[in-house]
Structure 1
Amino acid sequence: MIERRPLGALLAHFILIVGIVIVAFPIYYTFVASTLTTQQIMAPPMPLVPGGHFIENYGGAFAGVATIGGVGVDRLLLNTLVVALAIACGKIVISILSAFAIVFFSFPGRMFFFWMIFITLMLPVEVRILPTYQVIVDLGLIDTYTGLTLPLMASATATFLFRQFFLTIPDELVEAARIDGAGPMRFFRDILLPLSYTNIAALFVILFIYGWTQYLWPLLITNDNNMNTIIIGLRKMISFVDADTQWNLIMAITILAMLPPIAVVVFMQRWFVKGLVETEK
């Protein structure tokens, strides 16, 4: 029996609404700014209702980024999409294969290698930035998609999560697959991979956003404006003098930059939640 508490429900909904307003207001404010002129944005107080320059600003956003070495926002979005997809897919492929080898293969030093992978959680890109950058330079990967994505593909967190899930696979299922004549890769493809779909979906959402919002590594590894990501492009559009900054175009491009990760979260929300909360497959 569920006890109904109107006051508690009302308080919970009030807190939820306040939380939504706090999170959503900066995004709404950015959208409003993207429909105004720069003069309206710079003249306080800025209006809280959308202006009449929506088509002008969003249409000009694609041409306005020409101030960044002649590179359009479509190219910047394409670069960011390639980087985000490559990082997310690369991390998942490497992590799931690593976890598969650690859990289902017996070889000397298996746990040692696992803990070596796990310890790398304490060594983020910022800590190993100099040696990683030197390796990329020596390999001639500056201003390439490979240089942008390859150093960010390894993921100890994803490997650990896949390992923990694989440990829940019953031994009877492994024995049944072996009796049926399934080799390691067939067992992985026909049994483990379908069981891991929700985990993969949840990790893909997290890793896609991680790749989309990268700033430090793309800033270091790109010299050519054609290889910039949308985050770097936005930063280059901001001048030290407010009067020289086209804030209306920057706000419009900011909204455009937020749409792909939002779309990924919205369309994969059901799989994302299942991958986080389901413990039994």
Structure 2
Amino acid sequence: MVENRPWLTFFTHIVLLLGILIMFFPIYLAFVASTHTLADILKTPMPLLPGSHLWENYSRAFVEGSKELGAPVSTMMWNSLIMALGITIGKIAISLTAAFAVVYFRFPGRQFFFWTIFVTLMLPVEVRILPTYKVISDLGLLNSYTGLILPLIASATATFLFRQFFMSIPDELAEAARVDGAGPMRFFIDILVPMSRTSIAAMFVVLFIYGWNQYLWPLLITTQEKYYTLLIGINRMLAVGDQQAEWPIIMATTLLAMTPPVLVVVCMQRLFVRGMTETEK
């Protein structure tokens, strides 16, 4: 029996509120800095209330960018969006078909191939960065969307998740589809994929954030500003040498970079939770 202790509930809420404040305060400071001029930010102490240059700083960041970087935030955000969606859709499509083949087809070495896929979890991009770069370079895919997306679209984690879900589906469902004349692909598209929508939504959130936050790979293969992602752009804005960084523009860019992942999580939170807790399986 759980005892009702008001003081414990109060203490728990206080701890949660303190945690929220500690996490939110840096974001609030970034927002405040993005609404002031550079001279105001460099003053001691820094202002803690928003200024009157919000629209000016954000419009300049979105349309023009900083002086050290020729690409505006709109271009870099578009590049990041293409990369994140390409990685997400590619990983989900490949993982779904791979899990379908492993679970519903009988062929020699089926388990061996699955565990070979699973072992690739120990080989992230950072480990195979040089051979991957060599392949992309030889194919002429540097400074291209294909080069940004292609090496990152395989996912052992998503394959394992979909495999476990497909194994939980009764065999009678596949037999009934076969009796009704449905072929393997019709069964996959019309039955398995709709049943996997919560799992797909959960993986979409995780993989979109993974693709959006990619830094090392875009840094390595992009040398043209028109292919810079947001994280690369922020890094370039900070690399000003002896000059003074444009902190209002940098902070505005940082907050704009946080917006798409936050929107994805907020819009898909229910499906994400259902997919992770397996309420419909």
> Normalising TM by the smaller chain, what interval?
over 0.9
Match of 1:5 in 2: 5
Q: CA deviation at 1:239?
A: 3.2
Contact 2:136–2:142 under 8 Å retained in 1:
yes
The answer as to 2:18 corresponding to 1:32 is no
Match of 2:52 in 1: 52
The CA distance in 2 between the partners of 1:158 and 1:148, in whole Å, is 20
Structure 1 residues 112 and 148, CA gap change in structure 2 (3 angstroms)? same
The CA distance in 2 between the partners of 1:63 and 1:183, in whole Å, is 51
Q: CA deviation at 1:232?
A: 0.6
Mean Cα deviation higher: 81-90 or 174-183: 174-183
CA deviations over 1:202-235 (Å, ceiling 9, x no partner):
1101111111111100001111111110111111
Mean Cα deviation higher: 68-77 or 106-115: 68-77
Contact 1:68–1:233 under 8 Å retained in 2:
no
The CA distance in 2 between the partners of 1:212 and 1:270, in whole Å, is 21
The CA distance in 2 between the partners of 1:234 and 1:278, in whole Å, is 38
Match of 1:118 in 2: 118
Contact 2:143–2:224 under 8 Å retained in 1:
yes
Matched residue of 1:132: which SS? helix
Contact 2:274–2:280 under 8 Å retained in 1:
no
CA deviations over 1:33-60 (Å, ceiling 9, x no partner):
1111112222232122111211121122
Structure 1 residues 68 and 82, CA gap change in structure 2 (3 angstroms)? farther
The CA distance in 2 between the partners of 1:242 and 1:59, in whole Å, is 26
Contact 2:31–2:252 under 8 Å retained in 1:
yes
Q: CA deviation at 1:179?
A: 1.6
Aligned residues: 281
Question: Partner letter of residue 17 of structure 1?
Answer: L
CA deviations over 1:64-91 (Å, ceiling 9, x no partner):
4253553221111111100000000000
> Which runs of structure 2 are paired with 1:143-182 in the superposition (5 Å)?
143-182=143-182
The CA distance in 2 between the partners of 1:71 and 1:192, in whole Å, is 43
Question: Partner letter of residue 174 of structure 1?
Answer: A
Contact 2:84–2:212 under 8 Å retained in 1:
yes
> Which runs of structure 2 are paired with 1:50-129 in the superposition (5 Å)?
50-65=50-65, 67-68=67-68, 70-129=70-129
Percent sequence identity is 61
The answer as to 2:137 corresponding to 1:133 is no
Contact 1:65–1:237 under 8 Å retained in 2:
no
Contact 1:64–1:249 under 8 Å retained in 2:
no
Q: CA deviation at 1:257?
A: 1.0
Matched residue of 2:65: which SS? helix
Q: Unaligned regions of 5+ residues in structure 1, if any?
A: none
Q: CA deviation at 1:279?
A: 4.4
Q: CA deviation at 1:242?
A: 6.8
CA RMSD of aligned residues (A): 1.5
Q: CA deviation at 1:11?
A: 1.8
The CA distance in 2 between the partners of 1:223 and 1:243, in whole Å, is 22
The CA distance in 2 between the partners of 1:240 and 1:224, in whole Å, is 18
Q: Unaligned regions of 5+ residues in structure 2, if any?
A: none
CA deviations over 1:96-122 (Å, ceiling 9, x no partner):
110000001000000000010000000
The CA distance in 1 between the partners of 2:217 and 2:126, in whole Å, is 9
The CA distance in 1 between the partners of 2:171 and 2:209, in whole Å, is 35
Question: Partner letter of residue 146 of structure 2?
Answer: T
The CA distance in 2 between the partners of 1:73 and 1:119, in whole Å, is 38
The CA distance in 1 between the partners of 2:212 and 2:275, in whole Å, is 21
Matched residue of 1:67: which SS? coil
The CA distance in 1 between the partners of 2:208 and 2:140, in whole Å, is 26
Structure 1 residues 13 and 2, CA gap change in structure 2 (3 angstroms)? same
